[in-house]
Amino acid sequence: MLQKILIVCAAAFFLTIAITSIAKANGGPHGDYTTTTDACAGCHRAHTAPAAKLLAATSQYDLCMTCHGSSGTGANTNVNDGKYMARNPNVNGTTSTAVNADLIAGGFTTYKGSPVTSRHDVISETITSAWGISGTNRGALGTMSGGALRCSSCHNPHGSPNYRMMNTTINSVAISVTLTDEGSAKNYGAEHWSADISTACDGCHKSYHVTSSGSASDPAVAVNGGFTHRVDRTTSKASYLATTGISMRGGVTVTLPFASQYVTSTLTADDKMIVCETCHLVHGSSSLMSGFANGGPTLSGVQPGNTTSGDSALLRADNRGVCEACHQK
């Protein structure tokens, strides 16, 4: 009972904070603090905190979800279901993001109305190793220095000069993702990253970030785990993909995003890049994997290297829709 009352009080408190906040570069209670800010009280308690780091909820995930969850009230970005919701008129994004727009990072529990088939698991707060972390090969797991994977492994809740508050250092790797979003009138339904967005993954998957020509065929450049698809390379297919996209389950059109695509309309068709997020969603994906996409050539393979019906490797289209979008074999 006491717990219930506390939850209700906390929810009311968060709501008040969000409503009284003015639009800021980082958004909501994140960063841009004044000397008498109220924001700290939205997330921290000085003497009776239920979780470490003096957090005002029983886990970091629960804290973030008080505002960003399915039934959160303090933020419009519902990252649980990957939807932008009009539940608080006074926070960033309301003027330029359509209500019910799909969030471009995906969802942690459902996405586009279906249960996710893979996610960066920030819910269990027990995952401590990542594929291809600095010093290990692609396909090999290495230990993360900052403990278990959480929202704060990627985002700085106190704001950051990077796009979408990405940390400036992750596992000792310096991260710089240029902020090209719209300041206070944010749009969470379309890409506003810049061409360096792949570095957002460097802190945990550095060995996947291969930009050398020939990385898919030339043995001389096949280091750190075999041949790999090159990234951060421009593609002449971009102008076609940006307007047409590929058709998916339920008639939904998937347009694979390209860095800088929406930043300025003066870019030439070739000035579009293949980045990690061209093929992957970051938070979680509900794409379906069947046939060879369920276990690879042996039909029984698992990660790394294979997707399964229970693990879609964060791919943003069903099976290998991402490949056909460009190669159209």
Angstrom CA distances, 117 to 44, 94, 311, 313, 315, stand at: 33, 29, 5, 8, 10
Q: Provide the token pair at 289.
A: 């994997």
**Among 32, 125, 182, 311, interactor with ligand HEC by CB under 6 A:** 311
- Quickly tell me which residue has 């099976």 as its tokens: 319
- Cis omega (within 30 of 0) on the bond before 257? no
Alpha-carbon gap, residue 247 to 109, rounded angstroms: 23
The answer to whether 116 touches 123, Cβ cutoff 8 Å, is no
Q: Which is nearer to ligand HEC, 103 or 288 (CB)?
A: 103
Report if residue 193 touches ligand HEC, rule: CB under 6 A. Answer: yes
With respect to ligand HEC, which residue has the nearer C-beta, 113 or 305? Answer: 305
Count residues binding ligand HEC (CB under 6 A).
Answer: 101
164: Cβ–Cβ under 8 A, 6 or more apart, which residues?
A: 155, 177, 181
Q: Indicate whether 309 belongs to the interface with ligand HEC (CB under 6 A).
A: no
Q: Hey, what amino acid is at 280? A: H
Q: Which of 213, 247, 300, 309 binds ligand HEC (CB under 6 A)?
A: 213
Q: Among residues 1 and 229, whose Cβ is nearest to ligand HEC?
A: 229
Q: Which of residues 148-167 bind ligand HEC (CB under 6 A)?
A: 149, 151-155, 157-158, 164-166
| Candidate segments 3-11, 211-219, 242-250, 262-270, binder of ligand HEC by CB under 6 A | 211-219
Q: Which of residues 73-112 bind ligand HEC (CB under 6 A)?
A: 74-77, 79, 91-93, 103-105, 108
145 contact partners, CB below 8 Å, separation of at least 6: 171, 172
Piece in contact with ligand HEC (CB under 6 A), picked from 2-10, 246-254, 259-267, 269-277: 269-277
Q: Which is nearer to ligand HEC, 112 or 237 (CB)?
A: 237
Is position 131 an interface residue for ligand HEC (rule: CB under 6 A)? yes
Nearer to ligand HEC, 249 or 304 (CB): 304
Q: How many CB atoms lie within 10 A of CB 126?
A: 9
The answer to whether the beta carbons of residues 60 and 129 sit under 8 Å apart is: no
Q: Which of 150, 117, 146, 162 lies closest to 25, judged by CA?
A: 162
Closer of 231 and 288 to ligand HEC (Cβ): 231
Tell me the closest approach of the beta carbon of residue 252 to ligand HEC, in angstroms: 17
What residue number has its CB nearest to ligand HEC? 28
* Residues numbered 41-60 forming contacts with ligand HEC, rule: CB under 6 A: 42-44, 53, 55, 60
| One residue of 81, 196, 277, 318 binding ligand HEC per CB under 6 A | 277
Q: Which is nearer to ligand HEC, 213 or 252 (CB)?
A: 213
Residue 27 identity (one-letter amino acid): G
To ligand HEC, the closest distance from the beta carbon of 39 in angstroms equals 4
Q: Which of 235, 286, 287, 294 binds ligand HEC (CB under 6 A)?
A: 235
Confirm or reject binding of residue 63 to ligand HEC (CB under 6 A). Answer: yes
Decide: is 136 part of the binding site for ligand HEC (CB under 6 A).
no
End-to-end CA distance of the chain: 61
Residue among 25, 67, 60 nearest 44 (CA):
60
Q: 107: closest CA among 64, 57, 70?
A: 70
